[in-house]
Amino acid sequence: MRHTYSFEHDAYLQELATEVVEAGFEGDRPFAALADTILYPEGGGQPADLGSIGEIAVVDVQRRDATIRHYLERPVESGPVIVRLDWRRRFDHMQQHTGQHLVTAVAHDRFGWPTTAFHLGERVSDIELDVPGMAPLQIEMLEEAVAEEIRAGRPVSTRRVSPEDLGALNVRTRGLPPGHHGEVRLVEIAGVDLNTCGGTHVRSTAEIEAIKFLGTEVIRGGTRLFYVAGGRVRHRLAAHEARAARLRSLLGTPDEEIASAVESRLELARAGEKRVRALEEELATVLAEALAARPERVVSVHLEGKDAGFLQRVAKRLTRSDKAAFLTASVGEQGFFVLVAGQGVALDVQAAGRDMAEVMGSRGGGSGRTFQGKVASFVAREAALARLQALVNGT
């Protein structure tokens, strides 16, 4: 018969006196195996519990064949110990996991949607249902049906049966773990569900408090249904209310008008961005014409608050000139440069660009008549410009 542990008999135990029967390392991870434990090992879609053994934090719990290993922040010695459970985390998992059992049962029995997978996430959990899609009305109907069973306060209990007795029961199961031998643990929601499961659960559907569905996505021919249960519902609502209060303050509008107010401001922002792009195109043209009109063969300009994209627009226009231009710009701590030579300038632009980048302690690249890059400092800008002038003038 497989050894059973206290967490399997009473999910509400938060402290346990037991003994370290094995201590060692798995790779570089210290671990301990205990004579008994209240810490649940990861499995069945439910994450591992956290807690402590004595004063040493337990950072993970995993089954290794017939043993449960507790992975620790630092090594522990064999002998008597007190194991303590991170109860807030455990009770959250109990609410989410029992919620999954309830949703699975209601979805199958009332709507004909079998569950194919379950994942208990850190913030949001999900159930994969064997249904190609769910309309909003179907999701609403399922949520209301689940809420009815929560309000009913149905008892939740566990028991063990022999493999022989299992076949005679109307048990919902996706199969036993590979290599399982001996008795099978069942979790029952009275009048609703009887399921094979090794996880931890609340004592009544009333303790689930509430379940809220958050949305769906199509996956592998089925539908993944996202949800939160219990305390997560309250915490999520509190976060939404805090955001809504801030938006009300920023937008000066009630909740029901927030979306419209944001849409209106986004339209204004997009229109503003379009006008800015048009003005920058016009500015790039004017600046390129001004540089091309200068009498010297090599021209240069430095611009504050402009990015590499703007420099490239100016450079594109200067490729039609008879000038070599060294253009630089900076936005905050970022610096950019572009070297461009018009068709009338006899210059190996790529070689010259690499030469100038080396002078400034940077790198870059390009093709044809332009070469561009980023630079951390413009301390050597004048030296780079002098180098370009020497290359163009053949001195």
- Integer angstrom CA distances of residue 230 from 50, 125, 158, 187, 209: 20, 12, 21, 19, 5
Q: How far is CA 301 from the centre of its chain?
A: 44
Judge whether 319 and 344 are in contact, CB under 8 Å: no
Q: What percent of the chain has pLDDT over 90?
A: 86
Backbone φ and ψ for 114, nearest 5 degrees, come out as -70, 150
CA-to-CA distance for 46 and 179, rounded, in angstroms? 20
Beta-bridged to residue 301, according to DSSP, are: 327
Neighbouring CB atoms inside 10 A of 182's CB total 11
Distant-in-sequence, close-in-space partners of 215: CB < 8 Å, separation ≥ 6: 226
pLDDT over 70 percentage in the chain: 97
**Cα distance from N-terminal residue to C-terminal residue, the chain:** 93
Q: Which two tokens stand for residue 193?
A: 């569900």
Question: How many beta carbons lie within 10 A of that of residue 258, not counting itself?
Answer: 16
> Residues in the chain, how many?
395
Whole-number Cα distances in Å, 112 to 87, 197, 344, 352: 35, 21, 76, 72
Rounded Cα gap, residues 271 and 264, in angstroms: 11
Distance, in Å, from the CA atom of 224 to the CA atom of 139, rounded to the nearest integer, reads 12
CA angle 56, 60, 63 (to 5 degrees): 120
pLDDT in tens, 288-302: 999 999 999 999 999
User: Which pLDDT band holds residue 123 (cuts at 50, 70, 90)?
Assistant: very high
pTM for this predicted structure: 0.76
- Give the model's confidence band at 281: pLDDT under 50 very low, under 70 low, under 90 confident, else very high: very high
What gap in Å lies between CA 392 and CA 227, rounded to an integer?
67
Alpha-carbon gap, residue 392 to 324, rounded angstroms? 8
With cut-offs at 50, 70 and 90, classify the pLDDT of residue 188: very high
* Per-residue pLDDT at 133 exceeds 60: yes
Pick from 159-168, 177-186, 298-307: least confident: 177-186
Residue 180 has pLDDT above 80, yes or no: no
The per-residue pLDDT for 274 is: 95
Looking at the predicted structure, is the pLDDT value of residue 309 above 60? yes
The pLDDT of residue 4 is 85
For each of the domains in the chain, give its residue range(s) and CATH number, in order of start.
Answer: 6-85 (2.40.30.130), 90-238 (3.30.980.10), 279-393 (3.10.310.40)
Contacts of 133 (CB under 8 A, 6+ apart): 216, 218, 223
Three-point CA angle 147, 149, 152, nearest 5°: 110
- Residue-wise pLDDT tens digits, 243-279: 999 999 999 999 999 999 999 999 999 999 999 999 9
pLDDT in tens, 202-227: 999 999 999 999 999 999 889 999 99
Of 71-80, 146-155, 181-190, 293-302, the one with minimum mean pLDDT is 181-190
Residue with tokens 């400092």: 377
Which pair of tokens denotes residue 25?
């390392």
Query: What's the confidence (pLDDT) of residue 1?
Result: 47
The dihedrals phi and psi of 367, each to the nearest 5 degrees, come to: -155, 155
